[in-house]
Chain A
Amino acid sequence: MLRSILIYGLINSIILALTAIGFSLTYGISRVANFAHGALYVLAGFAAWVLFYRLGLNYYLALFLAVVMVALIGAALYRFALIRVRGMPISEIIVTFALGTALLELLRFFGLFGSNYGLPPLRRATLQLSGVPVDFQRVAVVVIGVVLIAALWLFTHYTKVGLAFRAIAQDEQAAMMVGIDPDRMATLSLGLGSALAAIAAVVLLPLGYIAAESGTNILVYAIAVCILGGLESPAGVIVASLLIGYAQILSVAYFGPHYQMIVALLAILVTLVFRPSGLFGRQKELEERV
């Protein structure tokens, strides 16, 4: 019992980190809270399904194309819509939230609910990790999650675009003075954030079904992790994923499956009430609360 809680808690934490990292990255760089995050996640799964089953592409190629497509949609979301309402939080929230809802309901209309659609796992196999059976896909999730986070860290610390991202995040005015275009960076950040949501989708969806309902769940999980860790803080995302991940597995093991969502929702409320900047947030207190 203890071993399986430890192992499945870790897997669940990585899953949460994967779903949240895109949301956190986008917000950290462009200050746009992408409420369409969950919708893009489901869209990526559906795109991969169409490419693989309907068009008969190679599985890995289908996954890759789905990620690229969603990244482009994310970038277009900023370039053609959000750019007009930049700096007006009410409008930004309404636009991303309404677009996300529209996308999810459209997918639901096409029959994307319940267990109608699913992606196959990378390989059907079960491994024994110190006596606990774990299927291959979950091991793959952990490996991909860790590699992705490491890659992101390298990207933001050693490439020109990555450094520009961090510069914009730290001080927009100063970044503009050294010739960084904030609109271009915001477009890229929404593209990258959406790509991360899509990667999470193609890796995680084989564990369950592609359903419109999961869009809202993913959004709530992403928000929960980002709020607890502190929006914009990459270290916070990892620590918060571990905290919420283990809390979820424990509550599911002792109370029941419904509590997975309740833990996430409570994490959001408790953090926002007691420490809105989260565990690692470096936001100035004034900006977020009066």
Chain B
Amino acid sequence: MAKRRERIDRPIKVLSEDIYALESVSRMIYVAAPSVFPILFLLLLPLFTPSLYMQRVLILTAVYALLALSWDFIAVATGLVSLGQALFFGVGAYSAAILNLHFGLPPMVTLVVSTLGGAAIATALVAPCLPLRGIYFAMTTLVYPLLLARAIEATAVLGGTDGLVGIASFPNVWVERYLVLVFVLGATFALRRLLRTDFGLVMRSISDNDQAVRASAINITVYKLIAVYLASALGCFAGAYFTHLYMFVGLSAFSLDLSILPIACAVIGGMGTLVGPVLGAFILVPLAEMVRDLGTLRIVFYSLLLVALVLFKPEGLMNFLHRKYQQIERWVQV
């Protein structure tokens, strides 16, 4: 007897669509819970992490979440796969360091300037490669962080291999703890909202079929530029923040780790969902941190995990949870 799996929406999901959600408290909770609880959890988390080490892990997680979000946004909005999130991170990190050391700007100002300005620099670097697709774009983005790191090494500008030290830190510890978390939340929900507008619709269709979008007389390069600018702003913020946190910037700002771990986070959490990569970061980065004693072996672990997930469970956690939350599954006879 042949059977197939049938998926149907949960009654409460159907009932709580549109205005009818306001009819009962349970429906309101059903609609609001998936976004309210994670937000509350994230905002309360710094209060319950006493040790400095845990705080640092939390911040590192948030930084990787930003990079994963930026990777995912490029993938959703342009259909391009980037192997060089480290470019955005590095540009943000170095520009914050320069602004602070040479112009004496306070951290709060350098954060804003290097997020917006650094993103402009990174976008200008990537812009000539934007018409490229698939592996060609992946190759250029793989090359950029390497090139910048080698150039700094060869010409010994910006501190060369020693890096720059003595950068100002944040005014107080609460700013340090909450700034990046609030930014992660804000960015996630803002980008998600953006993708639901008409503007976002065009972006999503570019990743589906760019030729069809061009045929509708829409200049796709402009959309890709905007997408890359937004994504690189996230990466640059992460870099600038990290620089002020550790009061140091060096060639490690362009390291391969910063490019591959965000991809792993995005794949675990579910590519294309935006919230997924953040969720993935909150799972993977603490895990990677727990096995820090293993040294470079942990890169082996999460690379293999990444491969296994891409090959066998490409759906991602977020898509899975989303489905379970909204639908029930049952086996029916064909």
Asked if B154 and A262 sit within 8 Å, CB to CB, the answer is yes
B182 contacts the other chain (CB 8 A): no
Q: Which of B136, B139, B311 meets A84, CB within 8 Å?
A: B311
- B136, B150, B297, B299: which contacts A265 (Cβ < 8 A)? B150
Q: Which residues of B contact A124 (CB under 8 A)?
A: none
Q: Is the CB of A109 within 8 A of B295?
A: yes
Interface pair A94/B300, CB less than 8 Å apart? no
Q: A94-B81, A101-B256, A276-B136 are in contact. Are A265 and B296 (CB under 8 A)?
A: no
From the candidates B132, B256, B304, B310, name the one contacting A272 in the complex (CB within 8 A).
B132
How many chain A residues sit at the interface, stated as a range, is 35 or more
B-contacting residues, A208-259, CB 8 Å? 216, 220, 223, 227, 255-256, 258-259
CA distance A264 to B305 in the complex (A): 31
The 8 Å CB contact of A94, one of B133, B134, B306, B312, is B306
Taking the complex as formed, is B165 at the interface, i.e. its CB lies under 8 A from any CB of chain A? no
Whether, in the assembled complex, A125 has its beta carbon less than 8 Å from a beta carbon of chain B, the answer is: no
A143 interface hit (Cβ, 8 Å):
no
Set of chain B residues within 8 Å of A255, measured between Cβ atoms = 154
Find out whether the CB atom of A268 lies under 8 angstroms from the CB atom of B139: yes
Q: Is the CB of A102 within 8 A of B210?
A: no
Contact between A98 and B311, CB atoms less than 8 A apart: no
In contact, B307 and A98 (Cβ under 8 angstroms): yes
Instruction: Point out the residue from B128, B214, B256 that lies within 8 Å of A273, measured CB to CB.
Output: B128
Cβ contacts under 8 Å, A207 to chain B: none
Instruction: Name, among A91, A286, A290, the residue most crowded by chain B CB atoms within 10 Å (CB to CB).
Output: A290
Task: Kindly state whether residue B279 has any CB partner on chain A within 8 Å.
Answer: no
Chain B residue, CB-CB nearest to A286: B211
* B22 proximal to A (CB < 8 A): no
Closest chain-B Cβ to A264's Cβ sits at a distance in Å of 9
Contact B146 A265 (CB under 8 A): yes
Residues of chain A with a CB closer than 8 A to B256's CB: 101, 216
User: Is the Cβ of A289 less than 8 Å from the Cβ of B131?
Assistant: yes
CB pair B138 A101 closer than 8 Å: no
* Cβ contacts A83-118/B at 8 Å (1 or 0 each): 011000111111101110110011011000000000
Q: Which of B146, B264, B310 is close to A95, meaning CB atoms less than 8 Å apart?
A: B310
Q: Is B179 an interface residue (CB 8 A)?
A: no
A81 at interface by CB-CB < 8 Å? yes
B194 touches A (CB below 8 Å): no
**A231 → B minimal CB distance (Å):** 8
**What sequence of 0s and 1s flags, for each residue 130-174 of chain B, a beta carbon within 8 Å of any chain A beta carbon?**
011111101110111011001101100000000000000000000
Q: Is B66 in the interface zone, CB < 8 Å from A?
A: no
Which B residues touch A105, using CB under 8 A? 296-297, 299-300, 303
User: Once the chains bind, are A269 and B140 in contact (CB under 8 Å)?
Assistant: yes
Q: Which of A256, A286, A288 contacts B136 (CB 8 A)?
A: A288
Asked if B75 is at the interface of the complex by the 8 Å CB criterion, the answer is yes
A287 surroundings in chain B (CB, below 8 A): 133
Report yes or no: B83 in contact with A97, Cβ–Cβ below 8 A.
yes
B191 at the interface (CB under 8 A from A): no
Bound-complex Cα distance A289 to B296 (A): 37
Contact with B along A13-30 (1 / 0, CB 8 A): 000000000000000000
Taking beta carbons and an 8 Å cutoff, which residues of B are in contact with A? 75, 81, 83, 128-129, 131-136, 138-140, 142-144, 146-147, 150-151, 153-154, 210-211, 214, 220, 256, 260, 263-264, 267, 271, 295-297, 299-300, 303-304, 306-307, 310-312, 314
- Chain A to chain B: the 4 pairs with minimum beta-carbon distance, closest first: A258-B154, A102-B303, A265-B147, A273-B128
A-B contact sample (5 more), CB < 8 A, given A94-B307, A106-B297? A101-B256, A102-B300, A255-B154, A269-B147, A272-B132
Q: Can you report 28 A-B residue pairs in the complex whose CB atoms are below 8 A from each other?
A: A81-B307, A89-B135, A90-B75, A90-B271, A94-B81, A97-B260, A98-B310, A101-B303, A105-B296, A220-B143, A223-B139, A223-B142, A227-B136, A227-B139, A258-B153, A258-B154, A259-B154, A268-B139, A269-B129, A269-B143, A269-B147, A272-B132, A272-B136, A272-B140, A273-B128, A273-B129, A286-B211, A290-B133
